[in-house]
Amino acid sequence: MTPFEQRVLERVRFLYGDDEAEVIVERICDLVRRYASLTKEKPDCLWTEQDAFLITYGDSILHEGERPLVMLQKFLSEYCCDLFTTIHILPFFPFSSDDGFSVIDYREVNPEFGTWDDVRAINNDFDLMIDLVINHASRESVWFMDFVNDQPPGRDFFIEQDKGTDVSMVVRPRNTPLLVPVHTRRGVRHVWATFSEDQIDLNFNNPSMLLEFIDIFLSYVAVGARFLRLDAIAYLWKSLGTSCIHLPQTHEVVKLMRDVLERVAPEVVLITETNVPVEENISYFGMGDEAHMVYQFGLPPMVLHALYRGNAAYLTSWAQQIPPLPPGCTYLNFTASHDGIGVRPVENLLPANEVEEMIDTVRRYGGFVTMKTNTDGTESPYEMNVSLFDALMGSRRGPDEWQIPRFICSQIIMLSMRGIPAVYIHSLTATPNDLANVERTGRMRSINRTRWQLKDLETRLANSNTPNAEVFDTLSRLLQIRKQQPAFHPDAGQTVKSLNKALFIIKRVSLDREQIIYALCNVSAVNVELVVNDLLDEGEQVVADLMGDSSLNEAQDKLKMLPYQCVWLHVSHPHGSVDDVV
């Protein structure tokens, strides 16, 4: 056996035992051979300081009579080519609910969105991130129709339980019933549905299910995926009597997928999506043998909390304690996405009363809160559903005139941190709460899933007096500045400093230790004055503010920061004197 085959055999034995292990391994190797033409040399580096992602739906940009993916490509080519290297197109497959995350057919493009050629057209200008919606499938899928009709292969692709089964230990991100009744040829059966009655969990205790998804994700690589996002991966493996979250078998499946990618497409990056507290989240790095990248789920609620209270103390403490990364791993930093702002990631990080206050403030600004069911049967907040732009229309004290500077501050914090930044399209365009969309769909997450008419959006972006244009133009300028700074390489060193509770301060040092950037963000509505020498380490001197609009005095010994102002200070140092930076 080759080292690859031996590694895969060990993983398969762990998952399924010895009886069929060698047969399963051979089938995996058949898939590897089928996609062998994809194989390239592993790149020296998987990412650089030039990398930035845009998160968007395939139909976020619309124009009557045109395919949405064509309109998205038009918008991206005209407005985003100099800003982003990668486009994360959220699930663009045929679906029955949840805006794409209830997949009917994993191998086809939703004909209402466009075609695979339209996806490839976007890939001509950008790298692609594609979702592998691996935990569940639509009840309208062919697989589920097979289950209902007791036909292979789908009849064995889902998880049946008796109606009275005790599932009280199962951790849920929702408060809907876990076991859903389904009328089948064999009578009424109850199937496992972690997220909704239309999203039926898949049975990975069946090795054929695993093989199916290995084939699917390799087919995504074949059409251009450079990044693969494992959606809701934490809930993949089910075992009664356990929490059914983060089980060892789930981690082993991720490692197996990583093994296959290393063999077939070593340039492809595997990303896990696990909206959970930090220690659980980073467990998906493994020992550097699982995900290359995990979402920085603590960042959105910690930033929101800091900006609501005008106090960066908790944000600073959290950022100072971010654990070291295994080699070859990084974070995907974001402040908003198609989902809400998670509450679970701040468990034990923020005082309970301040979390409640944050939730109440989001509600005051037009948002909603989604609940989850706990193992004791109680419910607790899971995520806050709101447009981030409208969430920042004020502080905890109420709306004020600082909405745009406060919002830009939130984005600069994300752009400054170690990792790769991911900007949601509705952050880039300063999209407000879409309450009409909530009313139309009946889903709270729809508040942050607006579909722009291209003409309307272009009109707003062309008018410098609109918030949309001001935010878009500012973020565009910052993204262009950022990608030219080696100190913002995802692997570059990071130290978080604590000098003033109103300031969030990060020191970044390039890999060659030739560039230092201090990112300072005033998270409060008051002016803050800082003695520069209190900030700098020995021998360092300010060269320039890369943003070009700071108020350093002539002697450069004091820095006055306006409410929500941020600066990127480029600092020089005597060669070789850079302090050790994690």
Residue 498 DSSP SS3: coil
CATH superfamily of 489-572: Golgi alpha-mannosidase II (2.60.40.1180)
**8 Å CB contact between 357 and 398:** no
How many CB atoms neighbour CB 397 within 10 A? 11
More confident residue, 556 or 265: 265
State how far the Cα of 402 lies from the Cα of 392, in Å rounded to an integer.
Answer: 9
Residue 222 DSSP SS3: helix
Output the pLDDT for position 40.
79
Task: Find out whether 512 is annotated in a ligand binding site.
Answer: no
What does the buried/exposed string (b/e) look like for 82-97 if buried means 16 or more CB atoms within 10 Å of the residue's CB?
A: ebbbbbbbbbbbbbbb
Q: Is the pLDDT of residue 475 over 70?
A: yes
Q: What percent of the chain has pLDDT over 90?
A: 88
Least confident of 25-29, 93-97, 322-326, 424-428: 322-326
Output the pLDDT for position 451.
97
Task: Find out whether 201 is annotated in a ligand binding site.
Answer: no
Q: Residues 224, 136, 205, CA angle at the centre, nearest 5°?
A: 100
Q: Compute the average pLDDT of residues 332-341.
A: 96
**8 Å CB contact between 489 and 517:** no
User: What is the model's pTM?
Assistant: 0.96
Question: What is the average pLDDT value for the chain, to the nearest integer?
Answer: 95
Domain ranges in the chain with CATH number 2.60.40.1180:
489-572
Output the pLDDT for position 553.
59
Q: Which residues face 541 on adjacent strands?
A: 572
**8 Å CB contact between 101 and 231:** yes
Task: Find out whether 190 is annotated in a ligand binding site.
Answer: no
- Rg (C-alpha) for the chain, rounded Å, is 24
User: Which has the closest alpha carbon to 370: 167, 581, 202, 379?
Assistant: 379
Residue keyed to tokens 């569940």: 136
**8 Å CB contact between 211 and 31:** yes
Least confident of 160-174, 390-404, 513-527: 160-174
Residue-wise pLDDT tens digits, 149-165: 999 999 999 999 999 99
Strands 541-545 and 566-572 come out as antiparallel
Output the pLDDT for position 16.
98
State the Cα torsion 283-284-288-294 to the nearest 10°: -110
Task: Find out whether 570 is annotated in a ligand binding site.
Answer: no
- The DSSP annotation for 423-437 comes to EEHHHHTT----HHH
Task: Find out whether 305 is annotated in a ligand binding site.
Answer: no
What does the buried/exposed string (b/e) look like for 341-363 if buried means 16 or more CB atoms within 10 Å of the residue's CB?
A: bbbbbbbebbeeebbebbbebbe
**C-alpha dihedral sign at 327, 329, 331, 332:** positive
- Residue 35's pLDDT band, with cuts at 50, 70 and 90, is very high
Strands 269-272 and 225-230 come out as parallel
State how far the Cα of 224 lies from the Cα of 167, in Å rounded to an integer.
Answer: 40
Domain 53-126+249-486: which CATH class? alpha beta
Q: Is the pLDDT of residue 552 over 80?
A: no
Domain ranges in the chain with CATH number 3.20.20.80:
53-126+249-486
User: Going along 204-264, which residue ranges are E strands?
Assistant: 225-230
Q: Is the pLDDT of residue 190 over 60?
A: yes
Q: Is the pLDDT of residue 579 over 60?
A: no
Active site residues: 231
Task: Find out whether 183 is annotated in a ligand binding site.
Answer: no
Terminal Cα-to-Cα distance of the chain (whole angstroms): 40
Residue keyed to tokens 């391994």: 25
